[in-house]
């Protein structure tokens, strides 16, 4: 298993399939000037499947989420999903995507064995979408969401980041829309992971702000039971059955229950989104290491996982890699 010195066990693997993207969300990427990982440095489809196999068969990983960058830009995605779905024990497979192109691929992904999707959508207003993402693709995302639901990639979850001056007032509208479409909405606090290092704690929209805004229109009841390792605190909307989640990574961190391990598109293990160190699994892989050695390196990396994100530490330094290259 992937255990750390604080007794946490990582069973949830996030795999970044590419650092490239067809949007330029302001909280993630700069408008231009971000250089991409070099093609030879990227893990091949076969290398990704092999590392997922090691994680699932030797290290106790039970859930695999593909992300990026934009994972739908990876040509081999359907094949990767298919191979991972054939592993024993079969992991839960999900995808975090901006939804562009999902209209065309949702059915094939479901067929290949994908279980669920999270689609990122921050606004219901096409003009706000255009300024937030710097691309005019709102309609494509809505079409992608509908296709995912239709294909049975359910529950379809929607991730929204609220940004001051853009969509800060949209929480209740987004929730009403999500309930009407049977999507499960989760708000994510903006984190200091943008490539431009423009994040400021002052003025950021907090989990508390989001809940207060939602309560102007809905009755939210905290769900009974433990939050466990799930980052989202969830509330029943107007008595249920619909739920809404809020991921307060900055103001309500969940590090003590974290069960994640991460693999970047260039084969680096990250113990945390905010980690400043990485462990190079690609070098071992390409030098011919057997599975047992890859598993040993992974275990050792996770053993060194820090207690928390360090966000509240005055000496906190934003990681070198932006969110798009870590895999959110
Ligand atoms: N491109 C895909 C997408 O947008 O869903 C997958 C990668 S993206 C990095 C994964 C998630 O991270 C998205 O829901 C996005 O909104 C979120 N994200 C990106 N930058 C963020 C930031 N600085 N703070 C909080 N969430 C962020
Ligand atoms: Fe692309 Fe996702 Fe980053 Fe937006 S959040 S720029 S869609 S990787």
What does 181-245 look like in DSSP terms, one character per residue?
HT-EEEEE---S--TT----STTPPPHHHHHHHHHTT--EEEPSS--TT-SSEEEEETTSS-EEE
Confidence check: pLDDT of 127 > 90:
yes
Confidence check: pLDDT of 297 > 90:
yes
Report the run of H or E that residue 280 belongs to, with start and end. strand 279-280
186-235 confidence digits (pLDDT tens) = 999 999 888 888 888 888 999 999 999 999 999 999 886 655 666 678 99
pTM of the model: 0.96
Structural domains of the chain in order of their starting residue, each with its CATH number: 12-326 (3.20.20.70)
Angle, CA 170 vertex, CA 145 and CA 207 arms, to 5°: 95
Of 234, 244, 154, 163, nearest in space to 198 by CA: 163
222-279 confidence digits (pLDDT tens) = 886 655 666 678 999 999 999 999 999 899 888 999 999 999 999 999 999 989 899 9
| 216, two tokens | 């102007």
Q: Which residues pair with 260 in a beta bridge?
A: 12
Whose atoms come closest to the Cα of 137: which ligand? 2
Which residues have C-beta atoms less than 6 Å from ligand 1?
A: 21, 27-28, 67-68, 70, 96-98, 120, 159, 161, 188, 190-191, 193-194, 323-324, 328
> Closest residue (by CA) to atom 2 of ligand 1?
97
Whose atoms come closest to the Cα of 29: which ligand? 2
Confidence check: pLDDT of 114 > 60:
yes
Q: Are 8 and 319 in contact (CB under 8 A)?
A: no
What is the pLDDT at residue 195? 84
Q: Are 48 and 15 in contact (CB under 8 A)?
A: yes
Measured from the CA of 98, which atom of ligand 2 is nearest? 7
């Amino acid at each position: 298993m992937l255990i750390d010195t604080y007794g946490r066990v990582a069973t949830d693997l996030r795999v970044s399939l590419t650092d490239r993207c067809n949007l330029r969300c302001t909280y993630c990427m700069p408008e231009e000037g971000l250089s991409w990982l070099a093609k030879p440095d990227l893990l091949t489809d076969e290398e990704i499947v092999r590392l997922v196999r090691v994680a699932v068969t030797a290290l106790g990983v039970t859930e695999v989420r593909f992300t990026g960058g934009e994972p739908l830009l990876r040509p081999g995605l359907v094949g990767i999903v298919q191979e991972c779905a054939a592993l024993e024990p079969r992991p839960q497979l999900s995808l975090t995507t901006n939804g562009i192109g999902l209209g065309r691929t949702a059915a094939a992904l479901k067929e290949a064995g994908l279980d669920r999707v999270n689609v990122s959508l921050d606004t219901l207003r096409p003009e706000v979408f255009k300024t937030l993402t710097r691309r005019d693709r709102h309609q494509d995302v809505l079409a992608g969401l509908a296709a995912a639901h239709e294909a049975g990639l359910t529950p379809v979850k929607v991730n929204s980041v609220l940004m001051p001056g853009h969509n800060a007032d949209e929480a209740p509208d987004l929730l009403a829309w999500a309930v009407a479409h049977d999507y499960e909405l989760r708000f994510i606090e903006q984190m200091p992971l943008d490539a431009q290092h423009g994040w400021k704690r002052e003025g950021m929209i907090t989990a508390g702000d989001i809940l207060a805004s939602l309560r102007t229109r809905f009755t939210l009841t905290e769900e009974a039971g433990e939050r466990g390792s799930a980052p989202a605190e969830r509330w029943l909307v107007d008595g249920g059955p619909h739920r809404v989640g809020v991921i307060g990574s900055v103001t309500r961190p969940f590090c003590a229950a974290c069960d994640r391990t991460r693999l970047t598109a260039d084969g680096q293990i990250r113990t945390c989104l905010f980690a400043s160190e990485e462990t190079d699994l690609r070098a071992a892989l390409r030098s011919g290491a057997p599975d047992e050695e890859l598993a040993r390196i992974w275990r050792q990396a996770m053993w060194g996982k820090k207690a928390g994100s360090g966000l509240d530490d005055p000496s906190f330094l934003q990681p070198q890699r932006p969110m798009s290259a870590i895999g959110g």
